[in-house]
Amino acid sequence: MSMNKKYLSLVIVSLIFCPLAVSATGVLTGLNNTAAGTGLDANKDLITFVGKIIGVILGLLGAVLVVILIYAGIMWGFLARGDNTQIKKAKEMIINAVIGLAIVLAAYAITTFVFTSLNNALVNNVKTANPNVNSNNPGQYSAQ
């Protein structure tokens, strides 16, 4: 097995097992606690849920791009050993990873702005239609 394949398999295994180790530390008990932890709580609206899902996906993409950036740096610094084709390949990977990170960060910023605006518009529209609506959760009514 070549050195590149070993490092690539190490990165892939790390990406698979790191989320499992992190999720195992905060295990919630009970169905209601689990639903609340995943954002599927009955008091949450669809806009918030979809926003959280998109945020998780963009976060994972960002993490993958950071791993690619680190791998390209290792490839350039240690694995190329003066080979110009490997150095060129590593430079291209770094440039592509930085461009990908910029795109993911821009997508995250745009998504956050759009979903925050939609949520605020929903709260304001529901509140003007019925002033007894709880502003923190448009699906719940405040006590009169």
- Could you tell me the two tokens for 87? 């150095």
**Confidence at 47, pLDDT banded by 50, 70, 90:** confident
Higher pLDDT, 136 or 20: 136
**Torsion (CA) 50, 110, 139, 37 in degrees, nearest 10:** 50
Q: In the chain, what is the greatest distance between 2 CA atoms, to the nearest angstrom?
A: 75
CA neighbor of 43 nearest in space, from 141, 142, 143, 139: 139
Alpha-carbon distance of 1 to 8, in angstroms, equals 11
Domain boundaries, the chain: 3-122
pLDDT at 34 over 70: no
Question: In 55-81, which positions are buried (b, 16+ CB within 10 angstroms) versus exposed (e)?
Answer: eeebeebbeebebbbebbeebbeebbe
pLDDT at 21 over 50: no
